[in-house]
Amino acid sequence: MLSLTRKTDYALVALTYLTGRRAEGAQPVSAKQIAQTFGLPRPLLMNILKELVRVKVLSSTRGAHGGYELAADPARVTLLEVVTAMDGPVRLSQCADGLPIVGQGCTLSQDCPIQGPIRSLHRRLNRFLAEVTLKDLWEERLGPADRSGPDAREFSHVSRNQAEHETQPQTHPLTEPTGVEIYQGA
């Protein structure tokens, strides 16, 4: 089963929260406050936030009124960037990206009946993750009726139950042709 690692899950929770704070014009927030708000383990969250500062998604300010805030436009930070920052490149399987596997060989590689489909699914998964941004995650927490303004977009490829609100639901190629569901896990 595909699932997000705990690090990526916590990173996305913190980043989506910080996206909302940015939209509200709020001040930086401490790791302690984020951890308390969502019941996350502070030591792990602090390491995650430091890594996000290192890759320039977040900035941090020291002092009594310091904390963390987004350093990048949430409409430009993708899920693929966050997952890669937390866990390295996304690889659906060892041979999915076509790169050689050092010290490991696949005995099926010459005649593998699923190599092509797995590589195709891998490319679709990466494209999907590259299309969804922090802004999308923040806006998706709202119901479709709550989104407004010239900037608002529909994210039917992210939401499971949005189709209930639309007469002609849109689908994303990752979930529809393959039947694959991606579960978020801890």
- Round to whole Å and give the CA distance between 17 and 102: 39
Q: What is the pLDDT of residue 103?
A: 54
Judge residue 72's burial from the number of C-beta atoms within 10 Å of its C-beta, 0-12 exposed, 13-18 middle, 19 or more buried. Answer: middle
**pLDDT tens digits along 144-184:** 545 444 343 333 333 333 333 333 333 333 433 444 444 44
**pLDDT tens digits along 18-55:** 999 999 989 999 999 999 999 999 999 999 999 999 99
Q: What is the pLDDT of residue 176?
A: 36
Two tokens at 17? 């929260």
List, in sequence order, the alpha helices (H) in the chain.
6-24, 31-38, 42-54, 79-87, 115-131, 134-140
Average pLDDT, the chain: 77
> Taking a C-beta distance cutoff of 8 angstroms, is the pair 12, 45 a contact?
no
**pLDDT tens digits along 57-110:** 999 999 888 899 999 999 999 999 999 999 988 877 777 666 655 556 566 667
Q: Is the overall model pTM greater than 0.85, yes or no?
A: no
> Taking a C-beta distance cutoff of 8 angstroms, is the pair 112, 106 a contact?
yes
Two tokens at 38? 């969502």
What percentage of residues in the chain have a pLDDT greater than 90?
Answer: 48
- Angle of CA points 115, 132, 166, to nearest 5°: 105
